[in-house]
Amino acid sequence: MVLAVRSVVEPEEHIPLYAAVAIAYHRITGRSSSVRDRSELDRELNEVASAIAGVAPVHTFDPVRNGPRPLTDIELATTRFAQAATVLLGEQGVRYTALSIARADLNRAISALAGR
């Protein structure tokens, strides 16, 4: 008897971008943020999110696919991270939420940003 072997492709594990930003910051700098002011912390996290998005795909939830979809370069270029990297805001009310990154992409982004 011959059994057919099916290859099952597991979906990529995604983590919320706000968590990825904190992980990246800690791994690159070796410390947690020392910022005490909420607005300064927000700015710092948004800057880290922008840096990550410059070297790795960032995703938003797509209800049609019922899963993450990568944001395009145009979507990223016409928006800005806000609210501690939990949302991307653009002109005319454009808003992307449920931001995430694949764990493997985060690891590659950290290596790229740390210069490794």
CA atoms within 13 A on the CB side of 100: 15
Q: Cα–Cα distance between 29 and 51 in angstroms, integer?
A: 14
Q: Give the per-residue pLDDT at 1.
A: 56
Of all residues in the chain, the percent with pLDDT exceeding 70 is 87
Q: Where are the alpha helices (DSSP H) in 1-116?
A: 17-29, 38-55, 73-77, 103-114
Q: Give the per-residue pLDDT at 91.
A: 87
| Low-confidence residues of the chain: pLDDT under 70 | 1-11, 33, 35, 116
Q: What's the distance, Cα to Cα, between the start and end of the chain in Å?
A: 50
Of all residues in the chain, the percent with pLDDT exceeding 90 is 71
pTM metric for this prediction: 0.85
pLDDT tens figures, 55-71: 999 999 999 999 999 99
Specify the pairing of strand 87-90 against strand 100-102: unpaired
